[in-house]
């Protein structure tokens, strides 16, 4: 998992808009963590692909963890995350994608990752890393719409490749199997299955939808939340 040699993930403006687009999904993810009571105050959180630290900030506000760790290969995003996290009351640590080796065994109570699996080729290596750093009884929540069961993935995959990203095809069952092989108990649900579908068709050319039907199908059916439990 090498350092991403790019200045921005999309470009400066798109990177800023990424947060506006994703905050609704981060809130849904945090809501599931809250409902499951899978993070208690004083816990340790790891965000894989934390970009500018927006999800970590939300988790900091909601759960007041003792420590937040972010893994982010993109140097510019990591820098913004560092500035933002310097205001947190919790201890904060940021690493590039190779930062796994700096995380001690059984240190993390909650692992999160939002739309990052499509950039990671080796799911076995990833799940082994998650299993190693989770505390017994800890959970990982990985949200992903960019998987092979989503009919929009073929178009989005092409758009990402045109922008110079290296992306990988993963099926939901492959993702769950990789977790199970690493010793984690997998489960899955739509990240959101009801409510308002947020989308501004004028805001971005990439990640577009051909119809409202496709938008609803994506947001309430294909955008999945995988949960992996590290059983004691």
Ligand X SMILES: C[S@@+](CC[C@H](N)C(=O)[O-])C[C@H]1O[C@@H](n2cnc3c(N)ncnc32)[C@H](O)[C@@H]1O
- 14 with 204: CB under 8 angstroms? yes
Q: Which of 56, 198, 73, 157 is nearest to 113 (CA)?
A: 56
- Which residues partner with 71 through β-bridges? 48, 95
- Closer to ligand X by CB, 68 or 77: give it: 77
Task: Output the smallest distance, CB 76 to ligand X, in A.
Answer: 10
Task: Output the smallest distance, CB 28 to ligand X, in A.
Answer: 12
Helix 54-63 to helix 12-36 angle, to the nearest 10 degrees? 30
- Closer to ligand X by CB, 3 or 232: give it: 3
Which of helix, strand or coil describes residue 198?
coil
**Other beta carbons less than 10 A from residue 204's beta carbon:** 15
- Closer to ligand X by CB, 44 or 71: give it: 71
Task: Output the smallest distance, CB 141 to ligand X, in A.
Answer: 12
Rounded to an integer, what distance in angstroms lies between the CA atom of residue 184 and that of residue 187? 10
- Closer to ligand X by CB, 59 or 116: give it: 116
Q: Which residue is nearest to ligand X (CB)?
A: 49
Alpha-helical (H) ranges within the chain are: 12-36, 54-63, 75-85, 123-133, 153-162, 172-181, 212-217
- Closer to ligand X by CB, 30 or 71: give it: 71
Give the binding site for ligand X (CB under 6 A): 1, 4, 9, 18, 22, 48-49, 51, 55, 71-74, 77, 97, 114-116, 119-120
Task: Output the smallest distance, CB 207 to ligand X, in A.
Answer: 10
Task: Output the smallest distance, CB 136 to ligand X, in A.
Answer: 24
């Amino acid at each position: 998992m090498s350092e991403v040699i790019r200045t921005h993930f999309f470009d400066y403006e798109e990177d800023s808009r990424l947060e506006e687009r994703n905050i609704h999904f981060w809130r849904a993810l945090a809501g599931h963590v809250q409902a499951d009571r899978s993070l208690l105050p004083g816990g340790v959180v790891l965000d894989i692909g934390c970009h500018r630290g927006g999800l970590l900030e939300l988790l900091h506000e909601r759960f007041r963890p003792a420590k937040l760790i972010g893994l982010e290969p993109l140097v510019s995003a990591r820098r913004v995350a560092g500035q933002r996290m310097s205001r947190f009351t919790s201890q904060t640590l940021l690493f590039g994608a190779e930062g796994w080796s700096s995380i001690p065994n059984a240190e993390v109570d909650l692992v999160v990752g939002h739309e990052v699996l499509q950039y990671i080729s080796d799911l076995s290596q990833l799940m082994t890393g998650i299993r190693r750093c989770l505390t017994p009884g800890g959970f990982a929540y990985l949200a992903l719409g960019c998987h092979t069961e989503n009919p929009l993935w073929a178009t989005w995959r092409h758009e990402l490749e045109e922008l110079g990203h290296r992306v990988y095809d993963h099926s939901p069952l492959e993702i769950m199997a990789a977790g199970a092989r690493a010793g984690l108990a997998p489960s899955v649900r739509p990240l959101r299955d009801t409510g308002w579908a947020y989308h501004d068709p004028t805001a971005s050319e990439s990640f577009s939808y051909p119809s409202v039907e496709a938008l609803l199908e994506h947001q309430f059916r294909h955008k999945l939340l995988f949960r992996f439990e590290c059983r004691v």
